[in-house]
């Protein structure tokens, strides 16, 4: 099992077979994190650099843990702790990091397309850990793994993605992946948060949350990304929360076995009420656990692909 490409930049680049291979590998890597000694020698002697130029808790930590559980050497660099803060360009930073011969560079950046530019420049594999409002492929993969563990078959599942669709790299990556896997996606939110012509991505649009969740298998709630909005896209957080916040009252309209996922970080009490967030339908912490396994699978499969290329 290996991946055809050198990099993981977006979900459009992965075939259905590759996505299933990644999820299957992640399922088998999960067991390592349950052991007392959480380490296997699979990537011994390999070097992974995490270059995170935007804040992150889950993604950065899980890439680091994933690399270490596979015995790779993992180096973490943040924007303020690097020479980017002294004016070095991203391209020059990437060239200098490559001169130290890493095997994988994991990049989070606020600029859409930044990992794609770096990937063209480097021989090392590049993993996109979130590029602005563009894509977050490893998040979509861990979302899919979490859904698959609870619903077994992904094909044909109905998913409502709720919230700030315009600014969401998680929504875009999930829409692309879910289309590839034959799932049915409805995006839900106020018109100001839904991109014009999003139907061209193969999704339906609904503006009423209670109507949208009536017969879905999964509700994917998104964070309101105030830091990416140039001006507020609704009159107040309270109004947004009243209309689109998922509460136990609204959840009564959904099927009794509906799954709720959220990529985090959560604005607790804004897009989701505390009782729903911590309630029986919520898989939010399972997603975080699965994030380590998915990132282990990505690193393992990518370096497998590179070994074959180099032979």
- Shortest Cβ distance from residue 58 to ligand CP (Å)? 4
Nearer Cβ to ligand CP, position 56 or 76?
A: 56
Nearer Cβ to ligand CP, position 56 or 204?
A: 56
Nearby residues of 89 by Cβ (< 8 Å), 6 or more positions away: none
Nearer Cβ to ligand CP, position 223 or 306?
A: 223
Report the sign of the C-alpha dihedral through residues 251, 255, 259, 264, in that order.
negative
* H-helix or E-strand spanning residue 58: helix 58-69
Residues that bind ligand CP (CB under 6 A): 56-59, 130, 139, 263-265
* Residue closest to ligand CP, measured at CB: 59
Instruction: Give yes or no for a contact between 26 and 296, defined as CB atoms under 8 angstroms apart.
Output: yes
- Shortest Cβ distance from residue 18 to ligand CP (Å)? 21
Q: Which residues pair with 260 in a beta bridge?
A: 219, 282
- Shortest Cβ distance from residue 296 to ligand CP (Å)? 16
- Shortest Cβ distance from residue 54 to ligand CP (Å)? 8
Nearer Cβ to ligand CP, position 206 or 262?
A: 262
Nearer Cβ to ligand CP, position 26 or 305?
A: 26
Q: What are phi and psi of 241, to 5 degrees?
A: -65, -40
Peptide bond into 36 cis (omega under 30): no
- Shortest Cβ distance from residue 56 to ligand CP (Å)? 3
Nearer Cβ to ligand CP, position 259 or 305?
A: 259
CA distances from 182 to 13, 172, 177, 202, 269 (A): 16, 15, 9, 11, 33
**Residue showing tokens 């994917």:** 220
- Shortest Cβ distance from residue 295 to ligand CP (Å)? 11
Question: What gap in Å lies between CA 186 and CA 60, rounded to an integer?
Answer: 29
């Amino acid at each position: 099992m290996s991946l055809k490409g050198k990099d993981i930049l977006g979900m459009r680049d992965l075939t259905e077979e590759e996505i299933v291979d990644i999820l299957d590998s992640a399922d088998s890597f999960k067991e390592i994190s349950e052991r007392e000694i959480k380490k296997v020698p699979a990537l011994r002697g390999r070097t992974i650099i995490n270059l995170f130029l935007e804040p992150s808790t889950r993604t950065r930590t899980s890439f680091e843990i994933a690399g270490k559980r596979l015995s790779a050497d993992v180096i973490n660099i943040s924007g303020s702790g690097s020479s980017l803060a002294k004016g070095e360009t991203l391209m020059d930073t990437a060239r200098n990091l490559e001169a130290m011969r890493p095997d994988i560079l994991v990049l989070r950046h606020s600029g859409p397309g930044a990992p794609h530019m770096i990937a063209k420049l480097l021989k090392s594999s590049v993993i996109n850990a979130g590029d602005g409002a563009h894509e977050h492929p490893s998040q979509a993969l861990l979302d899919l793994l979490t859904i698959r563990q609870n619903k077994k078959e992904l094909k044909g599942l109905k998913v409502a993605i709720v919230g700030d669709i315009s600014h969401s790299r998680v929504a875009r990556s999930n829409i692309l992946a879910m289309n590839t896997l034959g799932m049915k996606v409805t995006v839900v939110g106020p018109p100001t948060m839904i991109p014009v012509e999003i139907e061209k991505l193969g999704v339906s649009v609904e503006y009423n949350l209670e109507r949208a969740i009536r017969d879905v298998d999964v509700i994917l709630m998104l964070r309101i990304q105030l830091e990416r909005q140039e001006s507020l896209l609704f009159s107040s957080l309270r109004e947004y929360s009243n209309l689109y916040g998922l509460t136990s009252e609204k959840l009564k309209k959904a099927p009794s076995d509906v799954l709720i996922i959220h990529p985090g970080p959560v604005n607790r009490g804004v897009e989701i009420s505390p009782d729903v967030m911590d309630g029986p339908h919520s898989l939010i912490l399972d997603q975080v656990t699965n994030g380590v396994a998915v990132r282990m699978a990505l690193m393992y499969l990518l370096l497998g692909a590179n070994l074959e290329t180099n032979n």
